[in-house]
A = this chain, B = another copy of it.
């Protein structure tokens, strides 16, 4: 539902929020968990406005926003879980209060001014304590491209167009943007070899995904119908589900990926609320000749506007590019609108058996490859399984990642006459394998 918080004519008294191309204008208002860089302060909830963070835990801020006591208490927590648990009506009211307080000529400016910190001077924790992380597989293009490599005779399995395929991932190794990780070791089985060896992954890949943070949960045994599914979604972030393809190929049957994925996954610090994304809703992609979703995954509203047109990019900056002062190079540009399953369908399917979601749980969209190969969200697709090196502008090439590569995901929504809604950045750097 579009309301006054989306009005593109509104401007903020935080001047940087009004700059063209700013990811965080007054119409966005995403949330993060942050503290002053290098400090030992407790993390606390902040909202992005322009190039600043408004510290929602700072003295006087909750009062200036006229928050109920339970909301003020949630904002003083070290992550977003408590706010997420309060539910959709609270998030919406808080968004409206923030929008009004941060507008030009707001009487709240005096009270909030002291609670602003430049984003350049803060550091982030994970937005929330993630209890369970589920990764889905919502791009039919990715499923087909990858299927061709793992199962040439059988790329798209018969269940794909019926079941929003998902599996459980690892929560403990999810880190926030900006962290580095070591190239993982694992069992590698060379084609035609008699036995596997323990070695360092040589096929270290990215996966361009969106992360969906669950807000209010459901009781074990209860399902969430499609009509209520989106009320359980707090917001979205960027997610890079780093993947070791050689480890994956050997280990993944019959129970799915495990060590190929759980060494690191990176999320962006800012969680963009579903309400902020409302102007960018669109009809989901599903060819007319495909089977229509089973009734429990189908509503008129979902058919009309269940998808989101979020522009996504993958950028790479190699060690050499850093040394030479070259900017990151954009490898890929695509959109979330190509996903085969909508986020409401993911929530409803996940709970159809009574599985309980909890505030702060993270659902990954799966790799968001678009319809053409240059819109693919993983190097195994872009390089055709390592066969076709990707040329970078400085003369380097890549099939999979090399040590020292930094990969950044970016996302935004924009359209003429509508405020830009940005996601910021989700970056990580691959370090060499540990020598031990």
Q: How far is the CB of A206 from chain B (nearest CB, A)?
A: 16
Q: How far is the CB of A176 from chain B (nearest CB, A)?
A: 12
Q: How far is the CB of A50 from chain B (nearest CB, A)?
A: 33
With both beta carbons as reference points, the residue of chain B lying nearest to A196 in the complex is identified as B162
Q: How many copies are assembled?
A: 2
Query: Does chain B have a CB within 8 A of A171?
Result: yes
A residues 249-281 with Cβ under 8 Å of B? Answer: 250-259, 262-264
Decide yes or no: A353 and B195 within 8 Å by CB, A168-B168, A223-B185 being known contacts. no
Whether A173 pairs with B294 at a CB distance below 8 angstroms is: no
Distance between Cα atoms of A257 and B253 in the complex (Å): 11
Main secondary structure of the interface of A (DSSP, over half): loop
Decide yes or no: A172 and B353 within 8 Å by CB, A166-B258, A167-B167, A254-B151 being known contacts. no
Query: Does chain B have a CB within 8 A of A355?
Result: yes
Whether B254 pairs with A352 at a CB distance below 8 angstroms is: no
Query: Does chain B have a CB within 8 A of A354?
Result: yes
Query: Does chain B have a CB within 8 A of A140?
Result: no
Query: Does chain B have a CB within 8 A of A198?
Result: yes
Of B167, B171, B295, B356, which is within 8 A of A132 by CB?
B171
Whether B355 pairs with A170 at a CB distance below 8 angstroms is: yes
Of B159, B254, B355, which is within 8 A of A256 by CB?
B254
Q: How far is the CB of A130 from chain B (nearest CB, A)?
A: 9
A-side residues, CB < 8 A to B, are 131-132, 134-135, 137, 147, 150-151, 157, 159, 162-163, 165-173, 175, 181-182, 184-187, 189, 195-198, 220-223, 244, 247, 250-259, 262-264, 291, 294-296, 349-350, 352-358, 361, 434, 436
Given contacts A159-B189, A159-B250, A165-B254, 20 further A-B pairs with CB under 8 A are A163-B187, A165-B258, A166-B255, A167-B255, A167-B258, A168-B169, A170-B355, A172-B356, A172-B357, A172-B361, A173-B354, A186-B352, A198-B294, A198-B295, A221-B263, A244-B353, A247-B353, A259-B350, A262-B353, A263-B355
